[in-house]
Amino acid sequence: MPHTAAFFSQQLTFSSHSDFPVSADVGIDIYLFNSNNIASEQITELAAQYLHPQEQVIFAKRKQPQAKQEYLTSRVIIKTYASQCLGYNFDSLAVLFDDKDTCLKVYQHGEVIALHSCISHSHGQVLVALVPVKHAATQALTIKPLQLGVDLEWISTKRSLEKIAKHYYHSDELHACMGQVEAVAEEMGKAVHAKALYRIWTLKEALAKAIKQPIAKLLRDNVFEHCQQLHVHSGCYEAVEQAFDISIISNLEVTDNTSINTGSNTHVGTDIKVLTALFNHDLRSVK
């Protein structure tokens, strides 16, 4: 069994941005936005302003307000990036799910543009990972297709993963989760174990997206074995009175060499750009 402790360490940092930053020298740009900040009375107007007609059809099928907020946010982030980083006209773009390839694709006038994307959302938080094809090419992925998966899960204090873990998690995964408990004080054990179970879940979900396999096929597999040949970065995002577990998996190097201090140790991690003012100006005109 591969060494598992690293899978549970904090490998992510979070930086707040009132603008829309693009890192030209980083292979994967990752953004996070709290779509709950979109006022319910604004959602219809913003959808008409920012969504392509094909996207608006799908948006109209979302019945819950939060589902509408999350859908709008993910499309706006992807198209703003394509506009600012790759020079595409915002209004000409549509972000649609390809059922055959089981992934999101960005289209301009019916043609797929050179941008890989993967999204996840939970309780209004929306996570978006973006890779221009040119970055994938620089890391010799022109022959082997890019693999990219992300997952974001709200760590619920009321929803336990104990039953799911007992029935579906691999024995090595369960052992690794218990190993996390052994390293902390007894009174913290239950909370640490719960978070460890969520970490396994986000790893499995991100892996399923990266290798394009249904999550049901991977539930009983040892996620650590699958990830040996991939780049994996995980961490916990602390929002107001909420915590979210995040995992990012790719065959493209994820790190941007951000330094993370954990007690007496400093190691390299990946920065996630937390957008604080996504809809404060007309994104279609931003270059």
Nearest in space to 90 (alpha carbons), one of 75, 103, 105: 75
Which ranges constitute the DSSP H helices of the chain?
43-50, 53-61, 65-86, 133-138, 162-168, 171-182, 189-211, 215-218, 223-226
Q: How many CB atoms neighbour CB 245 within 10 A?
A: 23
> pLDDT 10s per residue in the chain (287 long)?
457 989 999 999 999 999 999 876 667 999 999 999 999 999 999 999 999 999 999 999 999 999 999 999 999 999 999 999 899 999 999 999 999 999 999 999 999 999 999 999 999 999 999 999 865 555 554 546 899 999 999 999 788 899 999 999 999 999 999 999 988 888 788 999 999 999 999 999 999 999 999 999 999 999 999 999 999 999 999 988 899 999 999 999 875 555 444 444 444 568 999 999 999 877 776 55
Q: What pTM value is reported for the model?
A: 0.91
Domains, in order of start, for the chain: 10-154+231-285 (3.90.470.20)
Question: Which residues lie closer than 8 Å to 242 by C-beta, 6 or more apart?
Answer: 123, 154, 155
- How far apart are alpha carbons 24 and 11 in whole angstroms? 21
- Tell me the HSE value of 110 on the side-chain side, using a 13 A CA sphere: 0
Tokens of 204: 């499995």
- How far apart are alpha carbons 98 and 100 in whole angstroms? 6
